[in-house]
Structure 1
Amino acid sequence: MLLTARTTATRPKALRTPRIAAALVTATVSAALVAASAPAPVAPLGIGDPLFPHLGNPGYDVASYDIAFTYRGDNRKPLDAVTEIDARATQALDHVNLDFAHGKVGAAEINGRAARFTTSGEDLVLTPAEPIRPGERLRITVRHTSDPVSGKDAQGGWLRTSDGLAMANQADAAHLVFPCNDHPADKAMFTFRITAPKGLTAVANGLPVAEPRHSGSTTTWAYRTHHPMATELAQVSIGRSTVVHREGPHGLPVRDVVPTKDRKKLERWLKKTPGQIDWMEKKVGRYPFEAYGVLMAQAKTGFELETQTLSLFEEQLFTLPQIPAWYVDAIMVHELAHQWFGDSVSPRTWSDLWLNEGHATWYEALYAEENAKRPLKDRMREAYRRSDGWRAAGGPPARPNRPAPGKKISIFRPVVYDGSALVLYALRQEIGHEAFERLERQWVRVHQDGNATTADFVRLASQNAGRDLEGFFDAWLYGKKTPPMPGHPDWRKGTKDGK
């Protein structure tokens, strides 16, 4: 999830206005890239995503990223960086397009030979010394800066905190940090190497590769993922942080990253995570990754984000006295649930976003019902009342409207949160609790570490129900109006007295 949309009636009153970060605007390269022109005009490419047509790049499949950042202690200045990409060509290529903006490129290589480079839109276009053949391995190296832009130019990517930096790359902001194939359909392994001044701590997705290496006035950390990851889920945190270790179910490493000065007062929340993981495992099966933890950032972001193995939270979520404890617990479970739904099983296109957010909202609400006596039925009845309005404003759950120009995060609307959890509630009503719970477990097991579509979910649901559910899903996922709720013929839409 990119932005934790807090728009349901079950929220505390103080949080009814969505706490959303500044709207994204069209990215521009922060400075012109100094390079020789390609022999022929080049164009920005894309894989044709229905919501972001120019996102991602065709012609190759990335296997891994190895990214080195050098941070010099000032979060207003660009970092020096080297991004190495190991990929394989899926077609003949005269040019290799990467998504990249907000950085200066100093040099680029493909397979050990210098490559010419230029830009087109938000693409960095490399011209290899020789054309690339289908099936050929691509070893790409780009030496560049990584610029933590802010203010009116802020679009995601690097997030400035009071003591350093963190990342917030959803939906398509990873390319504001490093060159990549910035679409969840192309998942890859990641290695991060972060050098920072002594006194700071750097943490990233995955687990440490080795002990931190000290050299003069700097320290270098290295981390590597054990499972493939979408670019939008990358996380690097640099700051005056303490890393708190504990053990989760089955010996799972639980690693939390918190401001050192607030370590003790945040413990009441940190110690909840192992129990929340255990609760989720009872619902859908074994946790899918090598580690988990929460990153509490000293920044006013307006969102929480399910970065893989290390979910990003605003520290103030845990410290503002007006936020009820049950609500904080539920939001923690929302981001945790995304590790299964959205991270391990990633969407094939951004129109499949409802599968991420609907499921995370579902388990958030179910946890609140079972642990805080907040009835799921009441929340879903309220969502049903408002659902037609959400569909009119943002489109049906599986056919969302395209984002407004310059507002890419506007795809994160109420219809993909409670509006999509409502679809899951209707499904459970339609096929029964037993078949629904079996479906959930199968979904995350069959598609673990991969990508899946709405059509995949419809097929698996039909198999578990023992009958064709295509008509049911067509109405609930694509209809302009919300269908009648199975088992609740008395539920009404658009009126506050709907029962």
Structure 2
Amino acid sequence: MLAASSSLCLIAASGPAPAEPLGIGDRLFPHLGNPGYDVMAYDLAFTYSGNNSEPLPAVTTIDARATDWLKQVNLDYSHGTVRSVEVNGVPAEFRGAGEDLVVTLAKRLAPGSRMRITVGHDSDPTPGKDVKSGWVRTEDGLAMANQIDAAHRVFPGNDHPSDKAIFTIRVTAPNGYTAVANGLPLGAVRRARATTWAYRTEHPMATELTQVSIGRSFVVHRGGPAGLPVRDVVPSKDRKKLEPWLKKTPGQIAWMERKIGRYPFETYGLLIAEARTGFELETQTLSLFERELFTRPEFSKWYVESIMVHELAHQWFGNSVTPRTWSDLWLSEGHATWYEALYAEETADEPLETRMREAYGASDTWRTAGGPPAAPKAPEPGRKMSIFRPNLYGGSALVLYALRQEIGRPAFERLERTWVRIHRDGTATTADFERLASAVAERDLSAFFKAWLHGKKTPPMPGHPDWRSVAPAEKGAKHAPQSSTPQIESRR
């Protein structure tokens, strides 16, 4: 049977069981993720031809545990050709339904049963009609940007941050190219014409944080705090030009560790790509940056460094402690923006209070446009990235500033360190943060959080009764006050 659905081309035998797309009911993206199983590990294998417009032959192996009785398994996958599926070594029937790949099992699996699903497929780096690939085509190869829902356009899986897993990634590329992925290298096998590179994460990871870089790149190695391996991936021709920026990373890691504790992963570094993405992205252990962030003269030194810290802070907030739903994303972006601003204050004399006061002035406008920080409005039709609105960044950092004002700096700093410690390698919700904050502060903060995280209007700022927020409907208020911070598109 040849079937096509949502840019997914399937080659499979027909079968009687109906196929329909499922989801776990995320408020913002209800069709992402799938019920009935928990993924423990992914093994991804890609073969790159040297042409970044050609599909990559790929094999994805998923080790999972059933959490319910299963006769069918839905995987998130679209935008590629599927050639074969096996479950525990036995060929399985499969078909497409929406953006799902529906696999029919040979026999019903009971809760607790293990299953290994192996999918032979192509991974297409070219965008389709109204669909983008999770691959980013660079000047000399490919990189990945899978947030929010693009990972399942690269490989099949359970594409929701609530289901984290260990990843092994193998890339075969022609000699002359270098492949780097999340985690630490397992080794490289060199042949006459191609090399296979292998990497594995030591900590679980959400699908949206997967990173693979293939290019004519140079990998720069250096030591970080306590011997942490720091590796950066840069275009070979730019190695010397970018070194003044790259060498700042160990000091930035040390700064973050003084604030919230030990770096949570096995390695870190920057992937600097010659591509126009419109954002920087905190892919786990290897953050993606546009080359021009470091080369455009209008960006001041302090600003570039603060953006580097923003993506670094995400390794704790968003990657190690992952929002359980997309409505909890303020926990990730708010904290990354907070430490970005705090770093600018402490290292470049850019006052945090000034930035927070400007954010407060714009807060009502932001809430009207995008909803409260913990209850963001749904994305605009056909624009899933539109949930990344100003209130997710400045407005969410403002909540943290208000919390520090409310409970005091010592309690706030204890809360931050405790949060990343007790939820390390896991997922967490807004309610989890509220409960922990109340426990650390030794008083009920539910009213505070209800107003600041869920209210349509910005509450009064503790300690600053004179601060005012200008709502768009207020007389004479055509525009909300704007931040003096320079902008380079969006950091995520």
Q: 2:206 aligns with which of 230, 237, 240?
A: 230
Where does structure 2 lack aligned partners over 5 or more consecutive residues? 471-476, 483-492
Alpha-carbon displacement from aligned partner over 1:432-454 (angstroms, at most 9, x marks no partner): 00000000000000000000000
Partner residue of 1:267 out of 235, 243, 246 = 243
Q: Which residue of 2 aligns with 1:466?
A: 442
Partner of 1:401: 377
Corresponding residue number in structure 2 for 1:71: 48
Helix, strand or coil at the partner of 2:106: coil
Report the secondary structure of 1:38's partner residue: coil
CA distance in 2, matches of 1:408, 1:179: 19
Q: Could you tell me which of 277, 285, 288 is aligned with 1:312?
A: 288
Amino acid at match of 1:121: G
More displaced, 149-158 or 214-223?
Answer: 149-158
> What one-letter code is carried by the residue in structure 2 that aligns with 1:274?
P
Partner letter of residue 25 of structure 2?
A: G
Do the aligned partners of 1:114 and 1:128 also contact (CA within 8 Å) in 2?
no
8 Å Cα contact 1:189/1:229 also seen in 2: yes
For residue 121 of structure 2, give the secondary structure of its aligned residue in structure 1.
strand
* AA partner of residue 348 (structure 2): A
What secondary structure, in the 3-state scheme, does the structure 2 residue paired with 1:371 have?
helix
For the pair 1:486 / 2:465, whether they are aligned, the reply is no
Q: Deviations over 1:474-497 (max 9, x none)?
A: 000000000000000000111779
- One-letter code aligned to 2:221: H
**C-alpha separation between the residues in 2 aligned to 1:31 and 1:249?**
45
2:59 paired with 1:82? yes
Give aligned-pair identity as a percent: 71
Q: 2:427: which partner in 1?
A: 451
Return 5+ residue gaps in structure 1 as ranges: 1-26
Structure with the higher strand share, 1 or 2? 2
Normalised by the length of structure 2, the TM-score is: 0.94
Report the 3-state secondary structure (helix = DSSP H, G, I; strand = E; otherwise coil) of the residue aligned with 2:28: coil
CA distance in 2, matches of 1:84, 1:160: 25
Pick 1 or 2: higher relative contact order, CA cutoff 8 A, min separation 6: 1
CA distance in 2, matches of 1:126, 1:455: 35
Q: Is the CA contact 2:318–2:332 (under 8 Å) kept in the aligned structure 1?
A: yes
Match of 1:105 in 2: 82
State which of 163, 168, 185 in structure 2 corresponds to 1:208.
185
Partner of 2:272: 296
Write the deviation string for residues 166-222 of structure 1: whole angstroms up to 9, x where unpaired: 000001110000000000100000000100000000000000012x11112000000
Are positions 1:30 and 2:29 aligned together? no
C-alpha distance in 2, partners of 1:150/1:43? Answer: 24
Tell me what 1:343 maps to. 319
**1:238–1:76 CA distance, 2 compared to 1 (3 A):** same
Kindly provide the CA deviation profile for residues 395-430 of structure 1, in whole angstroms up to 9, marking residues without a partner as x: 100000111121111111111100000000000000
C-alpha distance in structure 2 between counterparts of 1:31 and 1:86, whole Å:
22
1:429 aligns with one of 396, 405, 413: 405
Aligned CA RMSD, in angstroms, stands at 1.3
SS at match of 1:436: helix
- After the TM superposition, list the runs of 4 or more consecutive aligned residues in structure 1 that deviate by more than 2 angstroms: 27-32, 150-156, 495-498
The answer to whether the 8 Å contact 2:234/2:273 transfers is yes
Q: Which residue of 2 aligns with 1:167?
A: 144
Distance 1:477 1:267, change over 3 A: same
Residue 56 of structure 1 corresponds to 33
* Residues 8 and 78 in structure 2, CA contact (< 8 A), matched pair in contact too: no
Q: Which position in structure 2 is the counterpart of 1:11?
A: none
Partner residue in 2 for 1:39: 16
Partner of 1:122: 99
Paired AA for residue 231 in structure 2: R
Rounded to whole Å, the distance in 1 between the matches of 2:9 and 2:181 is: 29
TM-score by length of 1: 0.93
**Aligned 8 A contact 2:95 2:101 in 1:** yes
Paired residues of 2:8 and 2:99 also in contact (CA < 8 A): no
Q: Is the 8 A contact 1:90 1:134 kept in 2?
A: yes
Aligned residues: 471
Residue of structure 1 in register with 2:120 after alignment: 143
